[in-house]
Structure 1
Amino acid sequence: MLTTVLGSGIAFLDGTVINVALPTIGRELDASFAGLSWIANGYLVTLASLILVGGSVGDRLGRKRVYLAGAGAFALASLMCGMAPNVPLLVVARAFQGVAGAFLVPGSLALIQTTFHPDDRARAIGAWSGLAGITTAIGPFLGGWLVEAASWRWVFLLNLPMAAVVILVGQRHLLESRDPTIEGRPDLPGAALGALGLAASTYGLIQEDVVVGLVGLAVLATFVVVEARTAHPMLPLGIFRSRQFSGANAVTFAVYAALSAVLFLLSLVLQQALGYSPLAAGAATVPLTLVMLALSSRSGALAQRIGPRIPMTLGPLGIAAGMVLMLRIDTGGTYLAQVLPALLVFSGGLVLTVAPLTSTVLAAADARHAGVASGVNNAVSRAAGLIAVAGLPIIAGFDASAAVGGETLVDGFHRATVVGAAVVLVGAAIAWLTIRSDVLEVAAGEDAKAEEDEAAVEACFSCAVSSPPTPHRERAPMK
């Protein structure tokens, strides 16, 4: 649990910690809003593009091996980010971080799915969600403190000792696992088409280049055709036949799109419109951390007891309510009156949503496809965040080529929260219509039976090998 939480945590941390550091990076490196967007999105483009490949490679070569290799590569990329002298090189280093993260993130959940007993998985995933969520939520506070006390470069250099712990502890304590049904050669055409299609479509969206975006969509369509005809595809399309799996991923897209856009803008609003220091802006989100720490594990246990349908419906409603309350955040307002109430409601909805959502995604797919299922869900959440942040200039009415602040920034933030709340409400409706209350119980029962069958086969084989042969006896003739 320590290794999986810490490993996925550094990847999640770099998705949020960068937000509070962006204003300082922009001043020191003379970056426009588009430049700041690319510093955030350079990481997300490669992460979203390759995360399916990372999950599939882990299933094939060994989840422990790929996970630890991703942690080492992430540390190296973080060092490059910390040493970057200008915006272009920082964007390149962030892209390399995304590549490493694509092999790191799917492995964390896949290792939990294949290590913990079916009866304990929901609680384990709840603990993982809460602890990993803490690393995400604490990112702005930690980033603000590092920016103010030292330099924005330490936001990235902090990953080095954390990755070292992941590698040392993981090498000693993690068990290796892989998908035993994988045969034949790796699906290199599928991997190339999937990565290229995701990269081109997201790049086209960010740059508002219609031609590149359409090319990306065409490549993704080709990817689906190739995977349907490949004997051993990187992405088994059969997992989407599960209504639970498809519905949970649709909810993931809605929730994480709104979440990414709001958290990206909130840090800018607090610093550039309300006058908060980097440390104060980071400290403003500490209630998010406290709520996640206190309630995420209980949320996972609740979903195991009553089913995920109700929490996955009420949770997005709470997130949307928190976004509506953020409309009260304005210049001249106070933290206790405007910011804190919105964050408390927002975090309550987030706690109800994350653990049941993650458990449902993994429960709806076969355990042998744990890496791919985790990769799909992570790709959906990253792509959702990428699309949301890339579309902010259009939604909020910003000029991407110029710096934004003051009332313009606040007005754009309000528009983005309204759109985000609407998107999250769609997610709540999808959860209510597609998710079954017994999906976790059914999955636990199926996995337990599979484990019993496997144990029985192993016992029978062991008995046949170790027991002496029964002497042949001649049967007496029948009278």
Structure 2
Amino acid sequence: MTVHRRLVLASSVAGAAIVALDGTVLTVVQPTLQRELGASLAQVQWTSTAYLVAVASLLVSAGRIGDRYGHQRVFGLGMLGFGLTSAGIGLAPGVGWVIGLRVAQGVFGALLQPATLGMLRAAFPPDRLGMPIAVRTSVIGIAAAAGPLVGGALVGAAGWRAVFFLNVVPSLVFGVLALTVRGPRRTEAATVRFDLPGALLLALSLASLVQALVDLPGSAAGLAVSGLAVSVLAGLAFVRHERRTAHPLLPPDVVGSVAIRGALGMLLAASAAFSGTLFVVTYFLQDTLGLGPFQSALRGLPLAAAMVLAAPATAVVLRRVGARRTAGVAMTVVALAVLVLSRASGAVAVCGGFALLGAGFGTVLVAATQVVVREAAVESAGVAGGLKQTAVNVGPTLGVAAGSALMAAGGRELALGILAAVALTGALACLALPGRTVASLTHPPVTGDRAGVPAGR
């Protein structure tokens, strides 16, 4: 592996890990933050919602910007901004500042996330993408598992502000490296235009959808219905605009790919079932069984371990049996895990269900991500990465909203039974994935940009 490829892989992994760690540690610090800043519960919830709305609405547009101006450059700006806003949150004098800076952090998070995949697509040949994506997924699993433990330790030792300083140094270091180190050059993608009206319509549709899903389980159901209506209208306007414009935000080679659409559908279903299940089971463990947060976190460790181990194994399996069979079996395992957790109460059964869930979800992430990244041309890799990240950001919001509503209506078994059915729906989406082995997905012969020549930006 060349020095440039090592740097690209390290940067991609670091960016994905920082975002994953940030998302998991926040839940630990919110009670302390609320107490010290004298904030209301609604204000504390907005520290999460504001970030989520900002990042989900801008991921696809940020990916397109990376296609036009270079993923390494956009990644560098995103990492620098993410680090600086993290420092700002750690110094914030009030909760209003925290919410505002979380919005800014979401903007920078949207810039860096698609770029982590776009850089991999540009730096590695298609037949060598499997292991980098697997390494990236494993590190995400480690970061997500470590988040609550690290966050709890930092809050106890140094206060909630220390949690936000955790990301500052690595973000700044990798941001500076991305902006100063240049790899092999390739021809500038001058034909890539940015569709501003399309970007605004898509952002409005996604932001309204995410906000509606966040409001749906609570007392703001009326606002949620209004948000869903705005999301649908903006989405229809976006589709109409995309069909008429000469330079659509979503290029035909991406939206026209059956494999990419299948992988995105599978990711949406898998992430919804995964996050909804974690939400429901966590409430069961703490409210019904009376376990503390730390004891609940310990029972979830097999999930992270299985996810970390499944990712590199998936890269090998994909070469032998192909994406369709690998992902189909993995989605079935996710559904089985949800059903196990719907009836588990003892520590062994809960840990076993979590292990199955981690193994299945980790496999789905690697398989679906590889299909999305490989099937897109290099000049559209940012948009493809943005769509993938959108699916794994909207899916959890949908899953938690559904899990919360279903649990209130019929209890744990009903909620998890329906979430298992959602996972099986994702298994049907696997039929759209390539049936050949991953090694044969590259169309012969591939040269130029499609061969994965690194971007020198």
User: Taking structure 1 as the reference length, what is the TM-score of the superposition?
Assistant: 0.82
Deviates more, 1:165-174 or 1:422-431: 165-174
8 A Cα contact 1:59 1:178, kept in partner: no
Deviates more, 1:114-123 or 1:48-57: 114-123
**Hey, what does 2:3 align to over in structure 1?**
none
What per-residue deviation string (whole Å, max 9, x for no partner) do you get for residues 205-225 of structure 1?
433322332122211211122
Whether 2:420 is the aligned partner of 1:421: answer yes
Question: Deviating runs (4+, > 6 A) in structure 1?
Answer: 30-33, 176-179, 452-455
The alpha carbon displacement at 1:312 in A equals 0.5
What per-residue deviation string (whole Å, max 9, x for no partner) do you get for residues 338-390 of structure 1?
43112111112123211111101112222221111001111122112223334
- How do 1:351-370 and structure 2 match up within 5 A? 351-370=362-381
Among 373, 383, 386, which residue is 2:384 paired with?
373
**Hey, what does 2:161 align to over in structure 1?**
153
The alpha carbon displacement at 1:289 in A equals 2.9
**Hey, what does 1:458 align to over in structure 2?**
none
**Hey, what does 2:4 align to over in structure 1?**
none
Which whole-Å CA distance do the structure 2 matches of 1:177 and 1:252 have between them? 33
Which whole-Å CA distance do the structure 2 matches of 1:275 and 1:454 have between them? 55
- How do 1:32-181 and structure 2 match up within 5 A? 37-84=45-92, 87-171=95-179, 173=181, 175=183, 180-181=188-189
8 A Cα contact 1:55 1:372, kept in partner: yes
Deviates more, 1:202-211 or 1:60-69: 202-211
% same residue: 32
Among 428, 433, 436, which residue is 1:438 paired with?
436
- How do 1:62-461 and structure 2 match up within 5 A? 62-84=70-92, 87-171=95-179, 173=181, 175=183, 180-183=188-191, 186-207=194-215, 208=221, 209=223, 210-267=225-282, 269-271=284-286, 274-328=289-343, 333=346, 336-397=347-408, 412-431=411-430, 433-438=431-436, 440-446=438-444, 449-451=446-448
- Residues 338 and 298 of structure 1: CA distance in aligned 2, closer, same or farther (over 3 Å): closer
The alpha carbon displacement at 1:27 in A equals 5.7
- Residues 326 and 294 of structure 1: CA distance in aligned 2, closer, same or farther (over 3 Å): same
8 A Cα contact 1:141 1:281, kept in partner: no
8 A Cα contact 2:373 2:381, kept in partner: yes
- Residues 329 and 119 of structure 1: CA distance in aligned 2, closer, same or farther (over 3 Å): same
Q: What SS is found at the alignment partner of 2:169? A: helix
What per-residue deviation string (whole Å, max 9, x for no partner) do you get for residues 103-131 of structure 1?
01000011001101222112221222222
Q: What SS is found at the alignment partner of 2:446? A: helix
8 A Cα contact 1:122 1:359, kept in partner: yes
Which whole-Å CA distance do the structure 2 matches of 1:44 and 1:222 have between them? 23
Q: What SS is found at the alignment partner of 2:443? A: helix
What per-residue deviation string (whole Å, max 9, x for no partner) do you get for residues 182-240 of structure 1?
43753211121111221123223433322332122211211122222222222214422
8 A Cα contact 1:396 1:413, kept in partner: yes
8 A Cα contact 1:129 1:354, kept in partner: yes
- Residues 261 and 87 of structure 1: CA distance in aligned 2, closer, same or farther (over 3 Å): farther
- Residues 273 and 182 of structure 1: CA distance in aligned 2, closer, same or farther (over 3 Å): farther
State the AA in 1 paired with 2:138: G
- Residues 246 and 148 of structure 1: CA distance in aligned 2, closer, same or farther (over 3 Å): same
The alpha carbon displacement at 1:14 in A equals 2.2
**Hey, what does 1:402 align to over in structure 2?**
none
State the AA in 2 paired with 1:342: G
**Hey, what does 1:401 align to over in structure 2?**
none
Asked which structure has the greater CA Rg, the reply is 1
Q: Which runs of 5+ in 2 are unaligned?
A: 1-8, 216-220, 453-457
State the AA in 1 paired with 2:70: G
**Hey, what does 1:459 align to over in structure 2?**
none
User: Taking structure 2 as the reference length, what is the TM-score of the superposition?
Assistant: 0.85
- Residues 147 and 422 of structure 1: CA distance in aligned 2, closer, same or farther (over 3 Å): farther
The alpha carbon displacement at 1:58 in A equals 0.6
What per-residue deviation string (whole Å, max 9, x for no partner) do you get for residues 292-316 of structure 1?
3333112112112221111101112
Which whole-Å CA distance do the structure 1 matches of 2:343 and 2:187 have between them? 50
State the AA in 2 paired with 1:160: V
State the AA in 1 paired with 2:11: T
Deviates more, 1:100-109 or 1:364-373: 364-373
Which whole-Å CA distance do the structure 2 matches of 1:201 and 1:452 have between them? 35
Which whole-Å CA distance do the structure 2 matches of 1:50 and 1:452 have between them? 26
8 A Cα contact 1:198 1:216, kept in partner: yes
Backbone CA RMSD of aligned residues:
2.9
Which whole-Å CA distance do the structure 2 matches of 1:134 and 1:373 have between them? 25
The alpha carbon displacement at 1:94 in A equals 2.4
The alpha carbon displacement at 1:21 in A equals 3.9
8 A Cα contact 2:281 2:341, kept in partner: no
8 A Cα contact 1:193 1:223, kept in partner: yes
**Hey, what does 1:473 align to over in structure 2?**
none
Q: Which runs of 5+ in 1 are unaligned?
A: 399-410, 456-479
- Residues 93 and 263 of structure 1: CA distance in aligned 2, closer, same or farther (over 3 Å): farther
State the AA in 2 paired with 1:363: R
